[in-house]
Structure 1
Amino acid sequence: MRTNRALPSPRCQRGVYAIEFAMVFLIFFTILYAVICYGMLFAFRLGLQNAAEDGARAALQYQSDLGARVARATTVATARSDWMPLVMPPVVSICHVEGAAGLDLCPAVNCGPSWSQRCQVHVVVQANNLGSLLPPLPGFAVPDQIAGKASMLLELR
């Protein structure tokens, strides 16, 4: 037996495309926003790392004393990180290899050519308050601080 049900008219389907577009747009916009934000973070992090490595390499160049090496490393690391906003001044320290190096400066050391007197230069370049650089959208984990760190073994003669 045949029923006389009427097929839905096109008039009943109005607005369905707009609803589908709204749902798909939100998903794609979220993905696009995440890619842009994390891409910017990775670019800043790479820039900080390059600045720290260049500063550490500059400390390897011949200087008359350790203070001059620290000054040269600081100057180079600052110059390499000028293009990035919110960058703190670089922290450069020279420590004995066995000594702990972090963000705080190492105590005064006597570096020399013997193996027991070997020293390292540590360069840390960091940027703070990164949430102010990216467009504000809740729900994304953006770190407050990123840093680039490098260390090299000094050779003194």
Structure 2
Amino acid sequence: MQAIRAPGSPRSQRGVYAIEFAMVFLIFFTVLYAAICYGMLFAFRLGLQNAAEDGARAALQYQSTLGARVARATSVAEARSDWMPRVKRPDVSICHVEGAAGVDLCPASACGPSWSQRCQVQVVVQAGDLQSVLPPLPSFAVPDQIAGRASMLLELR
């Protein structure tokens, strides 16, 4: 015959620590896993933004033609984003800025030094298919693509 133990006795509490550890570990691991995955996504996004900004800055350097500025911005943006996986070729365009309305017209028709002829360079660097790069996450937590965008007014003389 087995003796009835008191509810507070040490023998009746055997295994409770293992159950508590299992529950706390699942919560801790979920939070840690989410932080790591979000950190990777954040690092990729900042890398794309830096590549786009460096490309836009490169277009500000003196080049003889607008096409040469586009080529320089594209090559710099590609070089700055080559460490990241799944990056598409940067999209660089020079657009004429229309008056005070702020409507962009691409391609630039008549860029010049006057305020009414001002143009801007726009650099977009995108990365897609992030599900294959990041650790497995639920599909609602990972965007299909991320992008870095930068634009700067060109000074033409």
Fold shared by both chains (TM-score > 0.5)? yes
Identify the match of residue 100 of structure 1 among 98, 101, 104.
104
Give the Cα separation in 1 of the matches to 2:84 and 2:5: 65
TM-score norm. by structure 1 comes to: 0.88
- 3-state SS, counterpart of residue 100 of structure 1: strand
- One-letter amino acid matched to 1:78: E
Is structure 2 residue 112 aligned with structure 1 residue 112?
Answer: yes
Partner of 1:22: 22
**What are the superposed Cα offsets for residues 71-94 of structure 1, whole Å, 9 maximum, x if unpaired?**
000000000000000000000000
CA distance 1:61–1:151, change in 2 (3 Å): same
Q: Is the 8 A contact 2:94 2:121 kept in 1?
A: yes
Could you tell me how far 1:116 is from its partner in structure 2? 0.8
Is structure 2 residue 64 aligned with structure 1 residue 60?
Answer: no
Partner of 2:137: 137
Partner of 1:35: 35
Give the Cα separation in 2 of the matches to 1:149 and 1:38: 20
Give the Cα separation in 1 of the matches to 2:74 and 2:37: 29
- One-letter amino acid matched to 2:93: S
**What are the superposed Cα offsets for residues 93-149 of structure 1, whole Å, 9 maximum, x if unpaired?**
000123437xxxx23422111111100000000100111111113376111111100
**What are the superposed Cα offsets for residues 32-77 of structure 1, whole Å, 9 maximum, x if unpaired?**
0111011111111111010000000000011110000000000000
Partner of 1:127: 127
Paired residues in the alignment total 149
Structure 1's unaligned 5+ residue stretches are none
Give the Cα separation in 1 of the matches to 2:148 and 2:139: 26
Percent of aligned positions that are identical = 83
Structure 2's unaligned 5+ residue stretches are none
- One-letter amino acid matched to 1:115: W
CA RMSD for the aligned pairs? 1.7
TM-score norm. by structure 2 comes to: 0.88
- 3-state SS, counterpart of residue 24 of structure 1: helix
